[in-house]
Structure 1
Amino acid sequence: MIDYIIVGFGLAGLSFAEQLEDHKKSFIVYEDGSQLSSRVAGGLYNPVILKRFTSAWKSSEQLKIAVHFYKSLEQKLEESLLIELPVLRRFTSVEEQNLWFEACDKPVLETYLSSELIKNNNKALDIPYHFGGVKYTGRIDVKKMLSLYLRHLEENDRLIKQSFEHTFLEITPDFVVYKGIKARNIVFTEGFGVLNNPLFNYLPLPGNKGEYIIIRSRKLKLRQAVKASIFIIPLGDDLYKIGATYNNNDKTAIITQSAREELERKVQSFMNVDYEIIDQVAGIRPTTRDRKPLLGSHPEYGNVHIFNGLGSRGILAGPYVAEKLYNYIEKKEPLEKEIDCKRFEKLR
């Protein structure tokens, strides 16, 4: 008998698998590549919600844990994954500047926001009201990280590349059995795919489609990520990721012309150099109704668990809540009410 079965592999699955490896637990991961949200993510980590100049949930705690987590992963996988990358917020008015200065005076934000306006020196960008700078930001090469970790799992006989068929899962009070594999616990980290899981599909995870375009521009010469109505994220080699869109209605991972046109329109409103689009990607973010993660156990089965709902902030939140879930299962430490899936038990 092994300790865990993990179903699904994105940022949630990786974060929890790493907890298990750190604690010398035996486990198997089932992954079929059906959920693309983590693989197409922008990869930025940033402790501030730049649309409203507010602190992200548990940002201080998450940041410390996440940076240590990714640096440890770099050593394990022997590859560079974490890139320190400044983030600049483009202002569109004096009023926005004033709101920024007000935010700088708040104790929860003063650590992360620069109180001095940053003048634009890049002729490729139209920035009449200057920038605000965010500290302690960076980018994770998520696609590379997931690919390397899958190879690591495969090399250690911990990966099964198959779709998980929920009807074959047998649950007893002491263990679960799936196609001959017996485990003490099973953790579902399926992202938006949880809607096909009969054990947890009652949870309110409406999802949100996001699309990016990847452009090449030899004249842009941008070394910082810029947040305007969309992000421009430098990838190196004159490549930039532009996005993302937010669509609450379309729940397919198919790229669309309308999203492409929206992103081009927004970036052209303040970028004035030539570029070519070399790729477009789409995925469904596993967003919850209250914008908080979903963690915990099934109401009837104490060895059946969920780890989901990271939304658009999985880079920072993933390692933090993975540790919370591990301690909940193994050490019986209670989950914070705001992330415990029990908050939606009445919806069953």
Structure 2
Amino acid sequence: MEKQFLIVGQGIAGSLLAYNMYKAGLNFTIISSPHKSKASDIAAGMFNPLVFKRLTKSWMVDEALPVMVETYEDIESELGHKFLYPMDIIKPLASHEQKMWKERIEQAQFSDYIVGLGKDSLCKGIKDFDSYGRVTKSGYVNLERLLRKLRGFFLDKGFLIESDFEYKDLGFIDGAITWHGISAQTIVFCEGHHASENPYFKGIGFNPTKGELLEIECKGLAEDFILNKNLFVLPMGNHRFKVGATYDWKNLNEELTLDARKDLLSRLEDLIELPYTVLKHWAGIRPTVIDRRPILGTHPLHKHVAILNGLGTKGVMLAPYFAREMVRVLSVNGYTLNREVDIRRFL
């Protein structure tokens, strides 16, 4: 039977695209290489409706956040597992930051996301700061569990093939894509940072970013909010926390570095006063783009080739929204994409 779609990659983009296709009743096969790394495998999975540097709303947050919650809750219901963990973010503020936070809290457009300012000490183990901002509609998704459970779900339903993928194995016959005996109308590449090697997308402004993060154990540190001051400290339960992250645009490898570890721990110790133990250290490469916007759509010259990529540091929040958009692009004739994310801005 001819497949409508082939999806290359089972990171957050490929998984949510496939799930949306499943819900829409479309016929697809995912090709996932067990040997290729995914940034989703090591990402903290945090979502934050604000950009703290200038205290603005995150791009597309008003549209993307409701879709994100709806999608992850639907997957939880379908798979019978918990993945979405709403949790406020507490941001210690220096004296020069307080004025902007006070201004924002009075503005209606921020009323859903900034819920208060405080001056009392937060709790034992966190250093004293002048005041604290509290952000809501934030939290994290357990990406490792989500992708693992979706992998099992897709395998059980016969939607997933675990195989190395080589571009040279693609064929174009009678208006269709072929790969190892499978025929499809369209192939959608959801390869994360590996897309920079894709021969069909050489004109796209990929700008991958290496990131490193740690997992620590710290008994006594509060576990009911995410702490954010020059890094995030994300509670994972049982006194364990993810701490991150670094940004490196030059050394695009997955090697763990002592410099990154020292940098993260130095920033951590500016924030907390409790003893801790480092349990894990990860490195991965984020699929970021020069204009910091996702890339969606069908190749303007190769109508059977499409892409969903570039979700970057906001992938947990943006992936559900743009996976849904991608299904519409592929299944609704003449569907118009937001120009900011359309592949045609590069090709």
Q: Fold conserved (TM > 0.5)?
A: yes
- Structure 1 residue runs of 5 or longer lacking an equivalent are none
Partner of 2:293: 292
TM alignment of 1:122-271, pairs within 5 A = 122-172=123-173, 174-271=175-272
| SS, match of residue 62 in structure 1 | helix
| SS, match of residue 211 in structure 1 | strand
Percent of aligned pairs sharing the same letter: 28
Partner of 2:44: 42
Q: Does the 8 Å CA contact 1:118/1:132 hold for their aligned counterparts? A: no
TM alignment of 1:23-62, pairs within 5 A = 23-33=24-34, 34-62=36-64
Offset of residue 173 of structure 1:
6.5
Could you tell which deviates more after superposition, 110-119 or 292-301?
Answer: 110-119
Offset of residue 120 of structure 1:
2.8
**Root mean square deviation, CA, Å:** 1.3
- Structure 2 residue runs of 5 or longer lacking an equivalent are none
Offset of residue 124 of structure 1:
0.3
CA distance in 2, matches of 1:208, 1:118: 36
Q: Does the 8 Å CA contact 1:5/1:185 hold for their aligned counterparts? A: yes
CA distance in 2, matches of 1:296, 1:286: 16
Alpha-carbon spacing, 1:191–1:118, altered in 2? closer, same or farther (3 Å): farther
Could you tell which deviates more after superposition, 62-71 or 158-167?
Answer: 158-167
Q: 1:69 aligns with which of 48, 71, 84?
A: 71
Q: Does the 8 Å CA contact 1:35/1:190 hold for their aligned counterparts? A: no
Could you tell which deviates more after superposition, 289-298 or 219-228?
Answer: 219-228
Q: Does the 8 Å CA contact 1:203/1:344 hold for their aligned counterparts? A: yes
The AA in structure 2 aligned to 1:254 is E
Offset of residue 103 of structure 1:
2.2
CA distance in 1, matches of 2:236, 2:190: 28
Question: Which string of whole-angstrom CA distances, capped at 9 and with x for unpartnered residues, describes residues 232-260 of structure 1?
Answer: 00000000000000111111112111110
| SS, match of residue 95 in structure 1 | helix
CA distance in 1, matches of 2:242, 2:93: 20
Alpha-carbon spacing, 1:329–1:221, altered in 2? closer, same or farther (3 Å): same
Offset of residue 301 of structure 1:
1.4
Partner of 2:103: 102
Offset of residue 185 of structure 1:
1.1
The AA in structure 2 aligned to 1:169 is L
Report the TM-score, using the length of structure 2 for normalisation: 0.96
Q: 1:335 aligns with which of 337, 340, 345?
A: 337
| SS, match of residue 116 in structure 1 | strand
